[in-house]
Every structure is written in structure tokens, then in C-alpha cells.
Structure 1
Amino acid sequence: MKTSKTPIFLLAYQSTLMRISVLVNVSSYLPRQYRVLWKEQRHSEVLNLPRGCTSVFSSKVIALSTRTDLHRLLLPMLFFSTYPKRTIKTHPTLGDFNFTNFFKHLHLNSQKAKLSSILQYFEFLENDSALEGRMVVSRQVMTSKQWLTIEDWLESSVPLCPLSIRHTGRMERIDTDTKVLHVCFASSRFGDGALEDVINQESVH
């Protein structure tokens, strides 16, 4: 008798995914996404983490650069909650990024919208062009010696660049030639609550 080579965590989540498709009305592409998730999960056998992630840490700058295809690998593993559980007690500065608690709140419309966006993102990752380049997350610290005083502003002869501040509108409607800085309010714990029932700017954007 032949045995299934599908990992047990995928078998356990298969029925969950089918129920999700009914809840969020994504049954038209969910089976395809399931295959995509399984395919990406298998990529973990060949992708070398040290080559996919580089970091720079100092007292003033913290930067983390990761390959885009590494994200394609990590997201399915997060979705199926294959990482060790983290708590505030065991990891005060790093939250639990498994989707374990995500599915508890699928009765909320906001949570259904999050899930629909996540599945559509997996569909986007099937495009080869989506896997090019790297993603850089950095934190820059300005010391008090670098702060400008009122006198510095008054004595400066350097012209200021044009600046337009908008509180409404959509990013996709902005002219592509315009340089835009999108500001989102974030908590001290980056992404806190986004995988639960919290509705904040981090989970929306």
C-alpha cells in the first residue's frame, strides 16, 4: 500500500482551507493556492538561508536585507504555523508570527479581508518577475548631536524641497513619476496584532 508523502501539517490544514474558502468566498482559486503553498513549502529543501539573508548591525544603523524568493518560502511556512511558538515571556522583542491565532477570528469581516489579500499575494508570487530583487528593512537612529536647532534653520541658505502632505487618497492613484513617502503608525512591537483580530494601519497596508 502506498503512503502519502504529504506532510501531516498540510493534511491537517487541507480541511481548514476548504472551510476557509466558504467563509471568505475564495473557493474559485483556493485549490490552486493550496498547490502553490505546497510547492513553495518544498522549496525550503533547496534554499540556503545564509545566502538569502544578510544583516548589518551597529549602534546607529540596523539593516536587514533579504532575497525576495526567501519571502516566498517563509510565508507558506508561517501560514501553516511550522515555526516554534513564541510568547512575550520567551521572546519579549519578537512576537509569534505563526498563523495559529489568525484562523480563530475568521468570523470577522476584517479578518476575512486579510486572508483574501494574503491568498491573492501568493498568486502574485507565481510571477517570475515578483521574485527579483531584495527587500531591505532598516532602522536609522539620529543622535542628539545631529538635531537641528531653530538657529540652524534660520541661518541655513539651503532651499527646501517641495512638499505636499495628503491625509486622504490612494497610493495607486499617485503619478508614478512623483516621489512618495507613505507613513504608517506602528507600535513598539512591529506588526503587533496584525495576525489576530486587531485592525490597525500595519494590518491594512
Structure 2
Amino acid sequence: MHNLEAAKNTLDQTVYLKLREMIINGEFPPEQVIIQNQLTETLGVSRTPLRKAMAELEMEGLLYRTPKGWYAKRFTLEDMISIFELRAVLEGLACRLIAPVIEDEKVIYLRAIFQSAYQKRQENDKDAYYAADKKFHNFIAEETKDFHLSRSLESCKVIQTSLTQGLYRSPDETYPEHMAIIDALEKRDGDLAEELMRKHVRATITVLKSGDTSIHY
């Protein structure tokens, strides 16, 4: 019985992750109803795990349903700004929580991934810095060991990723900000780390409000 339950949970998670990936990759136009029969064939599953995944993604804000069926949500500029505002608060809190307890080797790790990625970018590896940025922000959330905080941040970042597959600000601008946050963590200064992270995330809001939504690498 235990093995059957574990297999069921694994299937549910697999369907959820695959469906989320399809949404992020733009495979469902916002104005087009999602055909569940086609999805069950594409994913090779029954309707039960598919419906569970869709309900979870509805709670995360990526899908919505009407009497006609399910749709991928269309996000406005106001939605994007709201997402970054929430991220600023939550990631700032995460920095404050982990600063007193983060281990030295983890600070070294964070610094190393950015130094390496920034160097690779200068060598024309366009994806390296974007990957490091995602890794950094995910690490900060996971290091809190707080399920609800991590889950809330994950939802924010999933929605953000569904809007863009890049960065709204140049690495030349954000690299020093990342280094300053890491310095604050190294000093175990939670208040400063929180302040710097909030400023870092909110700087993107200023860019969005200016109307410049071009992507940088």
C-alpha cells in the first residue's frame, strides 16, 4: 500500500511539473481553451492526475477556469509589478532569516557561482549569468528551510519565468548588487542583507514602470 501511494504521489508531481513547464514555455495561448483529452494523450496519463495538477497551477496563478474550460492566464504589467513587489518582501525576509546561520562554505559557493558566471558572460556565454541568477535566488529561498516561504517564492518565480526567459537588467548592473548581498550574508548582517535584497528586486520594478521590458543576458 505504501509503495502504491508513493508511486501515485510521484506521478502527480511528474504531471504537475510537466504541465507547468508547458505553460512556462508558452505552449498554451492565453485565449485558447486547454483541451484535456489531448493533454492526457500527450502526457500519457488519466484525467485524475491531470485535474490535480491543473487545480494546483490554478492556485499558483498560472491557470484559470471558466464554464467553457481551462485557460493559461494572461499577465499584465500590473501583475508583473505585483509579483516583483511580493518577491522583494519574501526574498528580503529569506535573507534576514538565513544570515545568522549560513555556513561559510555556502557563502563561498554563492560568490563562486556569480564570479564564474560573470566571467563566462564576458566570454560570450549568454546563458551562464541567467542560470546563476536563478540558482542564487532559489538557494536563498531553500536555505530558509521554511516550506511556506519557499513555496510562495517558487510561485512568484514560476509566474515571472512564464513571462520571460531572461533578465530585465544588465548583469553589469546586477553583479555588484549580488556581491553586496553575499557580503552582508558573510558578515551575518541580516538587516543589511534584507535591505539590499529588497532594493535589488525592486530595482526591476523601476525598469518595468519605465516601459523598458527588453531582456538582457
Higher relative contact order (CA 8 A, sep 6+): 2
One fold, TM greater than 0.5?
A: no
Normalized per residue, which structure has more helix? Answer: 2
Task: Pick the structure with greater CA Rg.
Answer: 1
TM-score by length of 2: 0.26
Using the size of structure 1 for normalisation, the TM-score is: 0.27
